Amino acid sequence: MPHSPRRALPIALFATAVLAVSGFAYSQVAVKPQQVEPVVLSGGDIGFRMAARKGSTPVGQLVVRIDGEWREVEFSYGLKSITK
C-alpha cells in the first residue's frame, strides 16, 4: 500500500516546524546572574538575602534572624498524616 503525497506533505511540514522550533529554543542564551553585594530584605525576623540578579529577578535565599544573626533556612519535607 503506497503512501499518498496528500498525507506526506502535512507530515513533512509538521516535522519541519518541530525541527525549527526546537532549533530556536536550543539557540536561546541563558541569562547569567549578576553578582551584587549581599543584602537582606527583611520584615522583622524573617528575610530574603539577595546575592545576585538574573535580569530583573532577584536571586538568593530565605533567612531567619536568630540571636541577632541572619542564618539560612533548610526546609523539612515529608508526609503528614491526615488522620489523628
What would the pLDDT profile of 60-70 be if each residue is shown by its tens digit? 999 999 998 88
Distance CA 32, CA 15 (A): 32
62 neighbors 72 (Cβ within 8 angstroms): yes
**Residues contacting residue 46 through CB under 8 Å, at least 6 positions apart:** 62, 63, 64, 65
47 neighbors 64 (Cβ within 8 angstroms): yes
Distance CA 48, CA 70 (A): 10
pLDDT 10s digits, 19-62: 998 888 888 777 777 888 888 887 888 888 888 888 888 889 99
pTM of the entire structure? 0.51
Q: Where do the DSSP E strands lie in the chain?
A: 34-42, 46-54, 57-66, 69-72
The domain locations on the chain are 5-72
